[in-house]
Amino acid sequence: MKRAFIFPGQGSQTPGMGEALAAAFPAARQLFDEVDEALSQHLSRLMFEGPEEELMLTENAQPALLAASLAVIRVLESEAGFDVRRQAAFVAGHSLGEYSALAAAGALSVAEAARLVKRRGQAMQKAVPVGVGAMAALLGLDIEVARQLAAAAAQGEVCALANDNSPGQIVVSGHKGAVERAVALAAERGARAIMLPVSAPFHCSLMSPAADIMAEALAETALRAPLAPLVANASAAATSDPEEIKALLVEQTTRMVRWRESILVFTANEVEEVVEIGAGRVLAGLVRRIDRTLSTRSVGAPAEVEALVQVL
């Protein structure tokens, strides 16, 4: 079966994530220890025990989600001889999940990926003062209507499309007032609109200071060609070129996550099953909304890992 492996982004974190996996598999425990050492932080304790408000901080949530995903990959490697070159047609990740995808595909070491996403989280949090920016999900609008609505809401401020998640689910990001105007305009059109509980306006031009920091960090990183092609957020196209990937990682900090188009790349290349690796089930749900012909599974808990081991 031709499979693509996908990795979740911020929002999928919950206290207790990874704890059962670490208890069940020594390989997972070892992975969490590696991340703790790379960051000089007891991140795994924060993941397992909370407090939730500390885990939710961008600088903690991002490496925590990466660790949860890579722990699953490490277990699949130890229990099933998982080989990404042989068993993954593509990898992709939603926003920070792109770093998890690259580490899973051998382009980054665990330590390199952990340090990069820690730095990314810190940079994104500092780019915009708390309360200045916001994000909102617009439900039931197609992308062109959402784009027009965001432009109308801007009124000299920033209001941009941040995520094309699935048909009828578009996220806008920018200055708080502009995003609130977008929510009001969506409601006037009969669409549902929900302000999101985020600490910064991700994937818009307000993140330019964070993009500059990531450009510096990635310039210092020896990124290797991934063992399976990456379908990148910023381009919605497959690539294995390290320099192109670095540029796309910088670009995705301020650009829309083209998730709907990325999943359609899988469809166009005869992928049959999409496997979500790590915390939560958000991405599998989006995949089903994008293309119901694709089979999906979410793999994070020990029983889910064991079920995938049986078919790999």
Q: Give how far the C-alpha of residue 259 lies from the chain's centroid of Cα atoms, to the nearest Å.
A: 10
DSSP 255: S
Identify whether the C-beta of residue 266 lies closer than 8 Å to the C-beta of residue 144.
no
Helix (H) or strand (E) holding 5: strand 3-7
Q: Give how far the C-alpha of residue 256 lies from the chain's centroid of Cα atoms, to the nearest Å.
A: 12
CA proximity to 60, closest of 43, 48, 72 = 43
Output the CA angle 290-294-298, nearest 5 degrees. 90
Q: Give how far the C-alpha of residue 137 lies from the chain's centroid of Cα atoms, to the nearest Å.
A: 16
- Tokens found for residue 262: 């990325």
Identify whether the C-beta of residue 9 lies closer than 8 Å to the C-beta of residue 96.
yes
Residues with a known catalytic role:
95, 203
List, in order, residues 6 or more apart from 129 with CB less than 8 Å away: none
Bridge partner residues of 170 (DSSP)? 138, 164
- Tokens found for residue 20: 């059962």
Identify whether the C-beta of residue 124 lies closer than 8 Å to the C-beta of residue 212.
no
Bridge partner residues of 135 (DSSP)? 173
Question: Rounded to an integer, what distance in angstroms lies between the CA atom of residue 30 and that of residue 23?
Answer: 11
